[in-house]
Chains A and B, each alone.
Chain A
Amino acid sequence: AAGVIQSPRHLIKEKRETATLKCYPIPRHDTVYWYQQGPGQDPQFLISFYEKMQSDKGSIPDRFSAQQFSDYHSELNMSSLELGDSALYFCASSLGLGLGKTQYFGPGTRLLVL
């Protein structure tokens, strides 16, 4: 079965640079979620989209923005990168929003900020 696709899988950036992470949900899934997992930590919710509209927002820095496109893929844009942004960024998708819909995670993008 098709899974969530994330690209790139690995990314190395310098401080103050910009990064764009992409997420392609499971076919027919209309909801996308972004999580950040720091080293040795549990995943922290950043933001979610349902039918191309932002549905919820968590602890996402103002330097980050995201959107969901008409084909349901999503992009997380990160500007003015800081060392502390080094983390594993997960995208997850579900069919529908809320009501305990199971979130299926992608393999993650490992971002290293030098």
Chain B
Amino acid sequence: AQTVTQSQPEMSVQEAETVTLSCTYDTSESDYYLFWYKQPPSRQMILVIRQEAYKQQNATENRFSVNFQKAAKSFSLKISDSQLGDAAMYFCAYIRNTGTASKLTFGTGTRLQVTL
């Protein structure tokens, strides 16, 4: 079974600074996808970024980028120029790359606090 581990229950960053959230996963599959979702106080789950395991290039979306280390099974999220609106719970998620895979496996989340 696949597992996703987020070892930082809480993180804090000052506005305009950079923060990195950690995620490791365990799988015997060689092809899969990884995601970061953001859950603000509204509890809505919002997609932040997506990475395909067979792509060596790290995904980026504006201020958000990932450091994907496939051999180490590590998938960290870097938030640059942090803003107050970035304060949220961040979940790392994994899904197998098959024609029928439906289940996203989530980590336990990292709560990010952004301070002035």
Contact = CB atoms under 8 A, between A and B. Distances in A.
B33 A100 contact: yes
Nearest to B103: A45
A33 B32 CA distance: 18
A44 B105 CA distance: 7
Given A43-B45, A107-B42, A99 B104 contact: no
**Mostly helix, strand, loop or mixed at chain B's interface?**
loop
B42 A97 contact: no
Interface in B26-62: 32-33, 35, 37, 42-47, 50, 52
A12 B32 CA distance: 38
A99 B44 contact: no
Interface stretch (B11-19, B70-78, B79-87, B93-101): B93-101
A68 to B, nearest CB: 12
Contact of B43 (A41, A92, A108): A108
Nearest to B6: A42
Nearest to A37: B43
A8 interface: no
24 contacts: A37-B43, A42-B91, A43-B45, A45-B105, A50-B100, A55-B100, A55-B102, A58-B103, A97-B100, A98-B99, A98-B100, A99-B101, A100-B32, A100-B52, A100-B95, A103-B104, A105-B37, A105-B44, A105-B45, A105-B46, A105-B47, A107-B42, A107-B43, A107-B44
Interface of A: 31, 33, 35, 37, 41-45, 48, 50, 55-56, 58, 88, 90, 92, 97-100, 102-105, 107-108, 110
